[in-house]
Structure 1
Amino acid sequence: MKKVGLLVAIFLATLTVKADEGMWLLKELNSESVARMKELGFTFPVDQLYDEDNPSLKDAVVIFGGGCTGVAVSDQGLIFTNHHCGYGAIQKLSAVEHDYLKDGFVAENQAEELPADGLTVSFLKSMTDVTDRIMAHVPSVLSEIQRERAIDSLSTALIDEYETDPFTHARIVPFYSRNKYYVVLYDQFRDVRLVTAPPSSVGKFGGDTDNWMWPRHTGDFSVFRVYADKDNRPANYSSENVPYQPKYVVPVSLDGVTDGDYAMTIGYPGSTQRYMSSWGIRQRMESENKPRIEVRGAKQDIWWDAMTKNDTIRIKYANKYAGSSNYWKNSMGMNEALTNLEVLPEKEKLEARLKEWIKGSPVRQARYGSTLSTLESAYTDSGDLALYTTYFLEVFNNGIELIRFANTILQFDSDGTEEDKQDFINDRFIESYKNYEPALDKKVLPTLMKLYAERVPEQYHPDIYQKVKDEFGGDYEQYADWLFANSRFTSLEELLELLKTADTQSLTQDPAMELALSTADMGYELSGQMMSYYEKMLRGEREFMAALMEMDADKTFYPDANFTQRMSYGTVGGYQPRDAVWYDYYTTSQGILEKQKPGDPEFNVQEYILDAIRSGDFDRYGDPEGLMRVNVLSNNDITGGNSGSPVLNGNAELIGLAFDGNWESLSGDILFEPEMQRVISVDIRYVLYMIDKVMGASHVIDELKVVGK
């Protein structure tokens, strides 16, 4: 990209909102954004986007599970989301004898729909600004940590006020780097059932190789249904429940899109740091992303080798591997994109301008005079410690599974009632052990412990390293053999027997608990040393955000993503990733035929699917040229959490489901770069084609409000 274009993009990302940038709160949508939306082709009534008293579009877009988005598409509670969002539920319902991951699933009627135990769907009820109610009770003299504790205490009291029944979920959410607060209310439904899931050869076509990449040919969709009680209210699972009737249902369009068409996403983006300082960005790249890449890469190599050799292990680890790999590759792409876009130098120019602005007034000096120096020292002085902390978290918290089981035991109340004990076991262990392979964990442990020892100074090694040195000659594989041979935590049956008879002292003597307690001690040590730096970072970033907004008071700022419902508007279009290369804005099923490889775990496609595609009979789902479009690009502003978000045309009709970003967009959590950043969505016509013509579930199509063609 030309230098002037880069400067404009950086300027817009950090100061103003023009073009198609922004993750907007529908409740705070301003006239400038509405005018821009209409200019791009938006025709839907603005007052029907968000309304807390009458049905509106916000009522159709849901939190799916704990970290995805979905959309209501029928008056019988059908929810469209991504395959990878439903992946965990599909995996839990799968076994070797009914492998829904490999073969897909279709419920022929509602009676055959499979309850997805533990899965929730949340519908937004309202958002209320409670900044004054909170900040009026927070003295300005408090330290940053004291301030956060006071806000947490006040938030807890407010949540108790708003959570009026077991199915109303309230969150107090900070905005603008904790300068503003909302209470957000949801209706949480706990009876959710699987209706349709494509085979992974469709829903996960391309695997990790194609993840974050374009061109893409992935049918990343799944279909669930929300159930309610007879009065259409949220309820726990019951055979007496009936399909939920949403307040608003999104029509599904068969018209498709062309280059330059309006595209809008509504969803729940998880987290961005668009206003982070240059020092914070540098620490993210060097002390978080790099160690995460190394540790997860080592673990995933071991997992992948086992998964490709054994179907049982593949099913057990499919969801865990996908989750780990996603942010492993994201970290690599983010560092590359931030470097290529020269984000750090441009942030430094912004900070220099802010510094001069602060100097220009005694009042500003009194308020922000130490803000930049506080940020610089906090991040610079803690760089190494943050690096070691990331290695610690990735190795011991996220890497070695047995440690997590042992840590969970510490929360077990041996003196509780039998009912409480059983509930604890059901909630914390049954599913975890179902998806656990001790022999695989035994391979991971020595690899990761050795890597940690090589990368982190000895003073930050847990005490267990001394035991490995003294009793096993520093041989981590010998230690792993001994641990897994002698721990009773490697088997659910043995653990349950131990919990029946053992006291706390007996539990702590188990080798797995010994390892967990040793790592916990070092975790406390690292977090304790980081605490003073965290406090400076929190205060510095909050003041930095406030100063930016004050410096450019006539500009419009949007808040960073925080897993609240947001709208992004833009257009359909391709992009130029590098010199002499142009990517078109859509792919077709021809690419599936070109990429498919028999027997390949990422590109194998069942013959019946290939035959359907080769026939060219795409019926009403084909484009005007008779082609089956698979994926489409738009320049909407999204991030993790937006997976499953509806992509809507100017009439607020469903044209796709967002499921990924392109490699060049992986700086997006820190910088929106409109020339390169693209959302990859599955064309809704491909979703309907797969459901109807390939999977034979035309009854699902019959429930939809299909428009166009």
Structure 2
Amino acid sequence: MKIKSILLGAAILLGASGVAKADKGMWLLNELNKENVERMRELGFTLPLDSLYSFDKPSIANAVVIFGGGCTGITVSEQGLIFTNHHCGYGAIQSQSTVDHDYLRDGFVARTMGEELPIPGLSVKYLRKIEKVTDKVEAQLKGITDEMERLTKAQEICNKLAKEQNAGDDQLCIVEPFYSNNEYFLIVYDVFKDVRMVFAPPSSVGKFGGDTDNWMWPRHTGDFSVFRVYASNNRPAEYSKDNKPYKPVYYAAVSTQGYKADDYAMTIGFPGSTDRYLTSWGVEDRIENENNPRIEVRGIKQAIWKEAMSADQATRIKYASKYAQSANYWKNSIGMNRGLARLDVIGRKRAEEKAFAEWIRKNGKEAVYGDVLPSLEKAYREGAAANKQMTYLHEALFGGTEVIRLAQMINAFASNSNAEARERILKGIDGIYKDYLPSLDRKVLPAMLDVARQHIPADKLPDVFAKVIDKKFKGDTKKYADYVFGKSIIPYDNKFQAAYKQMPADKFAKLMEKDPAVELANSVIASARAIQADAMAHAYSIERGKRLFFAGLREMNPDKALPSDANFTMRMSYGSIKGYEPQDGAWYNYYTTGKGVLEKQDPKSDEFAVQENILDLFRTKNYGPYAENGQLHVAFLSNNDITGGNSGSPVFDKNGRLIGLAFDGNWEAMSGDIEFEPDLQRTISVDIRYVLFMIDKWGQCPRLIQELKLM
């Protein structure tokens, strides 16, 4: 129900086909209907439904967790052992890495529980309750016609309902909108904050193929890492050496029996965001005003980062996680634009809109839905310029150069008199400094200022351009960057620490008001607010259109199950193990093996170089019990429906046994967040037998294998 921050782009809606097959969609487990269950049975699912999802008895869903702030994980032992993706654990692995102990490069193995490393700030959340509260919310929204007022009121009601749950300090209680703000659910999580790193393969395995193979198939990446949840009296607690491994309600059995083509496959996870009910105008807006600016700006920034990372190991460690996060959705945007064009998604959306308009006309629904499509078209057209400007401003100056964010936080710290708030902000500042290089950001700033100037009209640019860059430095952004990094204390941890510790609070606050980096940040914020005001004039019209369009589609298709768009709440997807035809005359098999690692490995490439001791295991086929017909399966494909946030999601077979961890989608179907393509869209998962092989044969850590329930 919260409008997407205009700083991150205008609100976007997806055009839906009125026909939603039961095997495409990310389904709420508490909303599964007869159509879903029949399709699951047809595909091969064998278990009673309450063994999949239940709050009355242990069930498979009880073992699935939110890992960190944006991934999924699966509990695999009665001692709180968690499997997730390597790229999900990447930040944690990076946080513990140094030049002397480079766990990113070399991997990490805890031989005993005592060697498992606490990760400050990392949490794992277990879902404990989900309850529909639509009637309670909608009853208080009757008669409200203004969309801004409606959304604001709904937010107030949801906050109140969440507060009334009296959740403890170790719980998170939220009320979230579903089905395009047409329904609401109350959700409660237990939040465990003592999470420790147990095992990580080297990046030559966990990130094998790097950016080149990202989103691609065939894939040979061992994208997994292992963590453990600790508790006090089996309840969530802050880190303590006295905490014990958490004993979960349920943990997943692990299958070593493999799979074959057309076998049932099911994922459960926390997909972040889809836009399946976006209209054609929304698709155009996504391509032109969000994806294209993101591709351009991140490409410039990443090239500067990459050069520095390639030249110095310490820089590579500091920027590894940030680079990976940036590059992931940079390439995603490239692939999405390509897929949207190749599959003529705009044309298909227009056909759906035509059918919707015809249904309105034939059924006399003009009074309710007659203005939905025209108002959406008008809002997107009139809001396009502001959305593009905000994307460039955000990508270049809020997300491109790091000094602006740092200045924002330090200025907030300086101006805040609340001790608790200051401590919280200071913790965030320290986290940024840990992985920040002023010398590198000094190179990024002028490049980001230049790209902002190229794409934002002069009257919407931050006034620092006219007042300082142009007036004092004749438009030379490099000289301006030298000035900022030469005069400001913001980029330098030691200078900041000395200033705020030695000065009275009021004097430090005044110093910050005049700091060049703070002046830059304030100028950018003022510009963002001005552009945001333009965008907000259209955002509420888009939100209203989204809500009514979905309501109309439901009414138009009363016998069809239309899944709610993803919003980082627990969802299930069911499907089958399948290869696919990427283009005419070509066929991709549904699995890869260790043979491909040997074919791709290249000691001269930072993306494909593999340590000799790992290569020797493949060359000698020292696979132990994890091979199938003499080959070690590495990754496999299924036609499950996933998106960002599903990373680390367990893939289960027909008997609810773990067979893999989902970690990617395929390049040919990057438009999948907007339109699911059943013939093309595939989930790429690491085979659980490859995970076991790395733990056992490379890591030589039998204690972890012994914890698992192997079947």
Interval containing the TM-score (normalised by the shorter chain): over 0.9
1:5 aligns to what? none
User: In the TM superposition, what whole-angstrom CA distance separates every residue of 1:59-104 from its partner, at most 9, and x where no partner exists?
Assistant: 0000000000000000000000000000001111111111110110
Is 1:615 matched up with 2:616?
Answer: no
SS of residue in 2 equivalent to 1:293: helix
Please give the residue correspondences for 1:202-601 in structure 2 after superposition, counting only pairs within 5 Å: 202-229=205-232, 231-362=233-364, 364-412=365-413, 416=417, 421-425=422-426, 427-466=427-466, 467-500=468-501, 501=503, 502-601=507-606
CA shift, 1:413, in A, is 5.3
Q: Distance in 1 between matches of 2:618 and 2:29?
A: 40
User: In the TM superposition, what whole-angstrom CA distance separates every residue of 1:443-478 from its partner, at most 9, and x where no partner exists?
Assistant: 111111111111222111111111111111111111
8 Å Cα contact 2:383/2:534 also seen in 1: no
Q: Distance in 2 between matches of 1:600 and 1:271?
A: 34
CA shift, 1:694, in A, is 0.9
CA shift, 1:639, in A, is 0.4
Q: Which amino acid aligns with 1:670?
A: I
8 Å Cα contact 1:285/1:335 also seen in 2: yes
1:3 aligns to what? none
CA shift, 1:15, in A, is 1.8
8 Å Cα contact 2:64/2:126 also seen in 1: yes
User: In the TM superposition, what whole-angstrom CA distance separates every residue of 1:614-657 from its partner, at most 9, and x where no partner exists?
Assistant: 1112111001x210110100000000000000001000000000
CA shift, 1:409, in A, is 2.1
CA shift, 1:563, in A, is 0.6
CA shift, 1:163, in A, is 4.0
Q: Which amino acid aligns with 1:661?
A: G
2:79 aligns to what? 76
8 Å Cα contact 1:414/1:499 also seen in 2: no
SS of residue in 2 equivalent to 1:460: coil
Aligned length: 693
User: In the TM superposition, what whole-angstrom CA distance separates every residue of 1:276-303 from its partner, at most 9, and x where no partner exists?
Assistant: 1111111011100000000000000000
User: In the TM superposition, what whole-angstrom CA distance separates every residue of 1:134-190 from its partner, at most 9, and x where no partner exists?
Assistant: 111124334111111111111111111124210110121111110000011101100
Q: Distance in 1 between matches of 2:83 and 2:419?
A: 40
Equivalent of residue 656 in structure 2, options 644, 652, 656:
652
SS of residue in 1 equivalent to 2:164: helix
Q: Distance in 2 between matches of 1:242 and 1:100?
A: 25
Q: Distance in 2 between matches of 1:570 and 1:12?
A: 23
Give structure 2 stretches of 5+ with no counterpart.
1-13
User: In the TM superposition, what whole-angstrom CA distance separates every residue of 1:648-682 from its partner, at most 9, and x where no partner exists?
Assistant: 10000000000000001211111110100000000
Q: Distance in 2 between matches of 1:689 and 1:662?
A: 25
Q: Distance in 1 between matches of 2:24 and 2:322?
A: 32
Q: Distance in 1 between matches of 2:561 and 2:451?
A: 46
Equivalent of residue 136 in structure 2, options 116, 133, 146:
133
Q: Distance in 2 between matches of 1:200 and 1:604?
A: 10
CA shift, 1:419, in A, is 6.3
Cα 1:132–1:474 shift into 2, 3 Å:
same
Q: Distance in 1 between matches of 2:378 and 2:419?
A: 52
2:4 aligns to what? none
Q: Distance in 1 between matches of 2:35 and 2:16?
A: 16
What root-mean-square deviation, in Å, do the aligned CA atoms of Structure 1 and Structure 2 show? Answer: 1.4
Q: Distance in 1 between matches of 2:518 and 2:411?
A: 9
Cα 1:154–1:19 shift into 2, 3 Å:
closer
Q: Distance in 2 between matches of 1:153 and 1:411?
A: 26
Q: 48-57 or 15-24, which moves further after superposition?
A: 15-24
Q: Which amino acid aligns with 2:681?
A: Q
CA shift, 1:352, in A, is 0.9
8 Å Cα contact 2:265/2:577 also seen in 1: yes
Q: Distance in 1 between matches of 2:178 and 2:635?
A: 33
Q: Which amino acid aligns with 2:572?
A: M
SS of residue in 2 equivalent to 1:441: helix
Q: Which amino acid aligns with 1:172?
A: V
CA shift, 1:479, in A, is 0.7
Is 1:26 matched up with 2:29?
Answer: yes
Q: Which amino acid aligns with 1:449?
A: L
Q: Distance in 2 between matches of 1:588 and 1:13?
A: 37
Q: Which amino acid aligns with 1:557?
A: L
8 Å Cα contact 2:268/2:571 also seen in 1: yes
Q: 66-75 or 379-388, which moves further after superposition?
A: 379-388
TM-score under structure 2 length normalisation = 0.96
Is 1:61 matched up with 2:96?
Answer: no
Equivalent of residue 107 in structure 1, options 105, 110, 114:
110
SS of residue in 1 equivalent to 2:582: strand
Q: Which amino acid aligns with 1:616?
A: K
Q: 409-418 or 276-285, which moves further after superposition?
A: 409-418
SS of residue in 2 equivalent to 1:538: helix
Cα 1:584–1:44 shift into 2, 3 Å:
same
Equivalent of residue 146 in structure 1, options 145, 149, 157:
149
Q: Distance in 2 between matches of 1:118 and 1:415?
A: 23
8 Å Cα contact 2:158/2:176 also seen in 1: no
1:627 aligns to what? 631
Is 1:697 matched up with 2:697?
Answer: no
1:123 aligns to what? 126
Q: Which amino acid aligns with 1:65?
A: G
Cα 1:163–1:90 shift into 2, 3 Å:
farther
Cα 1:12–1:674 shift into 2, 3 Å:
farther
Q: Distance in 2 between matches of 1:344 and 1:381?
A: 19
CA shift, 1:420, in A, is 5.4
CA shift, 1:20, in A, is 2.3
Q: Distance in 2 between matches of 1:152 and 1:21?
A: 30
Equivalent of residue 176 in structure 1, options 171, 175, 179:
179
Cα 1:179–1:417 shift into 2, 3 Å:
closer
Q: Distance in 2 between matches of 1:128 and 1:348?
A: 36
SS of residue in 1 equivalent to 2:490: helix
Cα 1:549–1:415 shift into 2, 3 Å:
closer
Cα 1:432–1:683 shift into 2, 3 Å:
same
CA shift, 1:514, in A, is 0.6
Q: Which amino acid aligns with 1:524?
A: R
8 Å Cα contact 2:298/2:330 also seen in 1: yes
Q: Which amino acid aligns with 2:594?
A: S
TM-score under structure 1 length normalisation = 0.96
Cα 1:485–1:290 shift into 2, 3 Å:
same
Q: Distance in 1 between matches of 2:166 and 2:256?
A: 41
Q: Which amino acid aligns with 2:41?
A: K
CA shift, 1:414, in A, is 5.0
Cα 1:415–1:595 shift into 2, 3 Å:
closer
Q: Which amino acid aligns with 1:160?
A: K
Percent identity, please: 51
SS of residue in 2 equivalent to 1:667: helix
Q: Distance in 1 between matches of 2:32 and 2:471?
A: 64
